[in-house]
Amino acid sequence: MSGESEFEQVLELDDDGRLQPVSMAFEDFFAAHHQAVLSALAITIDDPELARDAAAEAMTRAYQRWGDVSLHRNPAGWVYRVGLNWARSRLRKFRREVRRHDLDLDRPVLPHPVVDPRLDAAMALLSVDHRAVVVLRFHLDWSEATTAEALGIAPGTVKSRTSRALSRLAEALEETDADQ
């Protein structure tokens, strides 16, 4: 393996003298990562309930095939990606089926007292793709390489999406400041 990664695999010899990655127990993985995956998904798709369902679905799939998933360099990245894809599928389906009945009436959402409402509003302007790189890079603190691997995109794409997302956030904040 090459490239930076926070999830360097530990290898050990098996009985036949072949190197094999050492996997951790699913329970340990779940305890260490489920909350981070859930919060990352919730921020990315901006829907906590859907994020919870997505995280549960992704964790279930990971549990079903833990023998394989555990050998990934970053199982949490795998779970995040599965959850994100699942949530997007649900969002597409939901939009397709409900939009036709929806008169686009925005409902008021009460801001959380400790969350910067300016950044919150600015984040909402980003696409899901851009929010995903922001969340993985700045919330989970993953490197570009690990983020790229988790999202299944090239590191260069992570770099460009991050740059554009940060620019967009800065622009939105400046507009907000100018309005005030």
Partner 1 sequence: MPINDDLSEFLEAKAASIDVDPIDLAGIRQRGRRRNRRNRMVGVGAVFVLVIGASVGVRTLTADDSGSDVAVGAAASGPASDSVPPPDPTVALPTSTLGPNQSSTESTSSAAAVPGVNVGTPIVVPWGDGFLSWSTIRESPTLDLLDPSVADKFPPEIIAAVRDAGATTLEESVEALRAAGLLELATQIVTDDPDLLDLYSQATNQGTTRFVAQTSNDGVTWQEIDTSLWPAVSPSGREVVSDGSHLLIAENPGDGGGGPNSASTIRINLTTDLETWSTIDLAPPSQFEGNPHVRSEAWLSSIAIGPDGWVAMANSNVWLDIESLIPAELRGVSEYRVDYKTDGVTIQIHPQTPANPTDTFTFTWDELGIDGSELGPDFSGDQTITTIFAADWDAEPTVAVDTAGLGRFREIVGTDSGYVALTQRTGEVESNLAYSADGMSWQAVATPGIQRVDALAAVDGGLVVSGGTNSDLGLWLGGPDGAGLVPVTLPEIPPGTSIRFNTGSSTLGAAAIVDLTRYSAFDPFTVDFDVTIEQDGIAVTFVQRSDGSGWLKAVDSATGEVLLEQPLGAENQAESPVTIDAEWLTLSDEVGDLIVRLPTVEVEKKINAARDAAIAAAQSDRPAPEEMVPDVRLVASRDGVNWLVTSAPDEAGSFPDAMAINGHTLVARFGSDFQTFTLP
Q: Considering the complex, what minimum distance in angstroms separates the CB of residue 65 from partner 1?
A: 8
- Residue keyed to tokens 């997007």: 88
Among 24, 32, 71, 170, binds partner 1 (CB under 8 A): 170
Binder among 24, 60, 68, 160 for partner 1 (CB under 8 A)? 60
By CB under 8 A, tell whether 135 contacts partner 1: yes
Confirm or reject binding of residue 180 to partner 1 (CB under 8 A): no
Which residue has tokens 């127990």? 25
The C-alpha R_g of the chain, in whole angstroms, comes to: 19
Q: What values do phi and psi take at 128, rounded to 5?
A: -60, -40
Q: Judged by CB under 8 A, does residue 178 bind partner 1?
A: no
CB distance 6 to 146 below 8 Å: yes
Question: Counting contacts by CB under 8 A, is residue 45 touching partner 1?
Answer: no
Which residue, among 111, 107, 160, has the nearest Cα to 133 in the 3D structure? Answer: 160
Q: Residue 112 interacts with partner 1 (CB under 8 A)?
A: yes
Quote the CA–CA distance of 163 and 130 in Å, as a whole number: 9
**Total interface residues for partner 1 by CB under 8 A:** 56
Element (H, E) at 12: strand 11-13
Residues in the chain: 180
In the complex, the residues that contact partner 1 under the rule CB under 8 A are: 8, 10-13, 16-19, 27, 30-31, 34-35, 38-40, 42-43, 48-49, 51-53, 55-56, 59-61, 63-64, 93-94, 97-98, 100-103, 105, 112, 114-116, 119-120, 123, 134-135, 138-139, 141, 166, 169-170, 173
